[in-house]
Structure 1
Amino acid sequence: MAGSSDAQLQIKLVTKQSTYAVPDIPYSVPSEIVCGELNSLVNELLTETHGGAVVEFDFLVGGELLRTHLSEHLSERQVSAEEVVLVEYVERFPAPEPQDCLEHDDWVSATQASGEWILSGSYDSTLHLWSRKGTHLLTIPGHTGAVKAVAWVETADKICSFVSASQDQTAMIWQWNQTSNSVECVHVLRGHDRGLECLAVDPTRTYIATAGWDKVIHLWSTVEGLSEGESFPKKIKFDSKVILQQLFIGLKKKIIFCILQSPLMSFQGHKEAISAVQWSEEGEMISASWDHTIKTWDAELGGIKVEIVGNKSFFDLSWSPLTRTAITASADRHVRLYDPRSTEGTLVKSTFTSHTEWVQCVKWSTTSEYHFISGSYDKQVKLWDTRSPKAPLFDMSGHQDKVLCCDWSNPELILSGSSDNSLRIFKSQHVL
């Protein structure tokens, strides 16, 4: 093992992946050893004890991934090099592989995957259904403004439902019959005074939250029959079965015959456009706004539970139920990790800096507590590990213009939509 310095450090190699465990003894290594050299050392030890193919590892020292030589890493984090240094190694996250580029007629501003299917929304007011292999299944007209958000509601074997939100001030619930490959609009959610920017379906697929430029969050039911003025349970019970009534929609004429719904509840408090809304806990929502604030709402009682004030407009927010933390996209080129319930110092736990222009969208992995993606006006989609705030794991290049939306709802697929009129699909090799 060669390093650029004669100085030596004592390290102990540890891992939570028992398959790759090496003898629990101190090893003497050059102080300026880097990740590649540590990787060679571990593989040499594994060959002696286990045999087998070479495995790529990353290394954690003091809770952060090693990205410089070891002595510099220890110095920056004020970790003593006088004692044995614990170096944890984990199997390296494999690089996502480009899979498809799905062309649209206008900017791609919304997307979400579910199982075998992909949904996308465009500035030309249309929705599109695709297979995960990139086959185009349907073009769906109906909105009269840019589609800014989409989400799956139910994905049954033959009948699926999804919701879309548009700058035309409405959200629509749709039902897709896979057998006939036909789509019907079953509900129009009308109540906003200005264009919509975001929506979220609760974990039980019973409630939908929508928000946008009128600064209000509206709460709707996917269950037929509930409307404003009717009795609404003070305690939201997350066990209701979604019932959607099939009605006729004349797609070719763009004449929609569906049920008009009124919101069940409305939440006011933001002073500028709301850019993101998510269900964070049972009976709780979290929203981000151009007014520089993040608010946590009690969806049962209607009040604000927590308010976080930032120093820039928020363009997107993604909540992780695995870590109960949120990541945000902002106008200052940074992605931030917030812990709304933190009682120890600042609520900002990490800042991730690599993008060179506005960060427009962020999305947590649904299976990993450490990984998320971000998309920016700099045309880049980046995959991050929260243990490496100074540098992303990977840059997923390919877009020719600003990235407007991204999605990682299906652990196997990373999606990004752009003002270059394309939806790009990367295959994620790391599925827990």
Structure 2
Amino acid sequence: MAEETQVLVKFVTKLPISLRVPETPVAVPSTLRRYGLSQIINHLLALDPPRPFDFLVNGELVRCSLEAHLLGHNLSAESTLQLEYVPAVVPPRHKHSTPHDDWVSSVDGSRGADASGEAAGSILSGSCDGLLRLWDADLHCTSSAQAHDGGVSCVRFLPKSQGDLLLTAGKDRTVKMWKLDDSASSGRCRLLAAYRGHSDGVECVAPSPSGRRFASCGWDGRLMVWETGRAVAEAAEVAAEGGEADAGVECSKKKRKVAAATTNDHAAPAANGNDGGGSCLSISECSTELNGHLHCVSAVCWAAEEALFSSGWDHSVRRWDVEAGVAADTHSGSKTVLALASHAACPQLLAFGCTDCALRIWDSRARAGGGGGGADAVAVTTQGSHGGWVTGVAWCPSSQHHLATSSHDGSLKLWDLRARVSLASLSHHTGKVLCVGWLGGGGGGLVSGGADCQLRLYEGGAGL
């Protein structure tokens, strides 16, 4: 019987001292995979209960035996292999679901698990029935409002620095800004402003990191930047009290002119009688329009003030210099791009999902450094794929390495950029999954919605 091949490995980590093992090289069987390696670390640390670990070689997660990894990377079995161990990510667990009257088209869980204890009305959902709904941590509806005729396409909280403000976009060609009522018992979203620059359905909105601006895009092929936040909310309050609307729009004096006037924008009554209607500020002129897309602009994300990305049915993804009003970089692919996500800590790195079922990563720094079409091809890599269109991409707020995606194949997938295969697949939806978002607070939880008319909540697993 042939002897089992051994490999010399050195275990290193950036974890606290209490979780570090001696860095002396040890011989281990070359057939070991991450589970066997994790058992060694647990034994050396005498952990009780045991903890799962993942292992990195030159920044890449090991997803095969050590022997296969050495062969696949043309590494010598005679040299010492350095393995960095990190806590393994435990996939989120399905916790709750709640029905809607129509497809759940958009979610925002960024305030869904605040470390300060804020919970009531902290998860947003938008539905094709036109309703905006707010939910607590147990998916009990705390408020709803009839937001848009024809359906809600997108819901987004503004950053907390701007207070309890949120945006919705819809098929009725408008974007609306709402304020959560200060009284939790009132169960009410109050409409403050309506943005009326689009000539067709609005697909997506993205607030800037400061929350003082947002970008909107839609089926009319337009990508526009608007002013929002506290300044516009104060203008709306002045208008609602019968003052001059222009008195509150001081935020536009730098370079921008916002045409504003008050109008009565009464929405149809919602199911619980909360229509969110009343007098609101009507804004019809954007601050900046970014021209370049040739068809529907399907998605936009704004991870840093200087890094606005958009994508569309013209198969392109564009990075914009908002101040100059021009596209600073463009990736042209072969399929429609449906969803985008970037991380505030690394805004030059963009993840996007396409109708060819692929999740791709674009490092815009590589293109800027290399120039030319060849550099662009190198900068965009395929991370993995679903069995259907990729409809949503969400970057974990507590990790630059982890993403979640939703797809028409009925699943959510969890990804680590350091591996080319997904970490987990969650298949609790019974139809197309249309949207996904991470819960705030760093707990690793998820919220999703789909064509099965269900809003689903997933408890965070360890490692995120």
Q: TM exceeds 0.5?
A: yes
TM-superposed CA distance for 1:246, in Å, is 13
Match of 1:382 among 413, 416, 428: 413
**Counterpart residue number, 2:243:** none
Match of 2:125 among 120, 123, 130: 120
TM-superposed CA distance for 1:155, in Å, is 4.9
User: Aligned equivalents of 2:426 and 2:388: distance in 1?
Assistant: 16
**Counterpart residue number, 2:437:** 407
Secondary structure of 1:268's aligned partner: coil
Q: Structure 2: any 5+ residue segments left out of the alignment?
A: 236-245, 257-261
Match of 2:136 among 131, 134, 157: 131
User: Aligned equivalents of 1:204 and 1:166: distance in 2?
Assistant: 23
- Is residue 269 of structure 2 the alignment partner of residue 258 of structure 1? no
User: Which structure shows the higher helix fraction?
Assistant: 2
- Is residue 232 of structure 2 the alignment partner of residue 233 of structure 1? no
Q: How big is each residue's C-alpha offset from its partner over 1:35-78, in whole Å with a ceiling of 9 and x where there is no partner?
A: 1211111112112xxx5431211111232211111111121122
User: Aligned equivalents of 1:210 and 1:349: distance in 2?
Assistant: 25
**Counterpart residue number, 1:238:** none
TM-superposed CA distance for 1:281, in Å, is 2.5
TM-superposed CA distance for 1:162, in Å, is 0.8
Pairwise CA RMSD of aligned residues? 2.6
TM-superposed CA distance for 1:395, in Å, is 1.1
TM-superposed CA distance for 1:154, in Å, is 5.4
**Counterpart residue number, 1:181:** 187
190-199 or 277-286, which moves further after superposition? Answer: 277-286
- Is residue 212 of structure 2 the alignment partner of residue 206 of structure 1? yes
Q: How big is each residue's C-alpha offset from its partner over 1:393-420, in whole Å with a ceiling of 9 and x where there is no partner?
A: 1111200001101111513331111000
Matches within 5 A, 1:146-165: 146-153=151-158, 155=160, 160-165=164-169
Cα distance change, pair 366–420 in 1 and its aligned pair in 2 (3 A): same
Match of 2:173 among 141, 164, 169: 169
Superposition TM-score, scaled by structure 1 size: 0.89
User: Aligned equivalents of 2:105 and 2:223: distance in 1?
Assistant: 20
418-427 or 281-290, which moves further after superposition? Answer: 281-290
TM-superposed CA distance for 1:358, in Å, is 1.1
**Counterpart residue number, 2:363:** 339
Identity %: 31
- Is residue 416 of structure 2 the alignment partner of residue 392 of structure 1? no
TM-superposed CA distance for 1:311, in Å, is 2.1
User: Aligned equivalents of 1:139 and 1:231: distance in 2?
Assistant: 31
User: Aligned equivalents of 2:161 and 2:135: distance in 1?
Assistant: 16
Superposition TM-score, scaled by structure 2 size: 0.83
**Counterpart residue number, 2:200:** 194
Amino acid in structure 1 at the alignment position of 2:290:
F
Q: Structure 1: any 5+ residue segments left out of the alignment?
A: 236-244
User: Aligned equivalents of 2:341 and 2:334: distance in 1?
Assistant: 18
Matches within 5 A, 1:243-254: 252=269
Secondary structure of 2:40's aligned partner: helix
Contact 2:147 2:267 in 1 (8 A): no
Contact 2:57 2:83 in 1 (8 A): yes
User: Aligned equivalents of 2:253 and 2:72: distance in 1?
Assistant: 55
TM-superposed CA distance for 1:81, in Å, is 2.3
Secondary structure of 2:42's aligned partner: helix
- Is residue 454 of structure 2 the alignment partner of residue 422 of structure 1? yes
User: Aligned equivalents of 2:439 and 2:223: distance in 1?
Assistant: 23
**Counterpart residue number, 2:145:** 140
**Counterpart residue number, 2:308:** 285
Secondary structure of 1:401's aligned partner: coil
325-334 or 5-14, which moves further after superposition? Answer: 5-14
184-193 or 404-413, which moves further after superposition? Answer: 404-413
Contact 2:88 2:463 in 1 (8 A): no
Matches within 5 A, 1:10-89: 10-18=8-16, 19-47=18-46, 52-89=48-85
Query: Which one scores higher on RCO, CA 8 angstroms, separation ≥ 6?
Result: 2
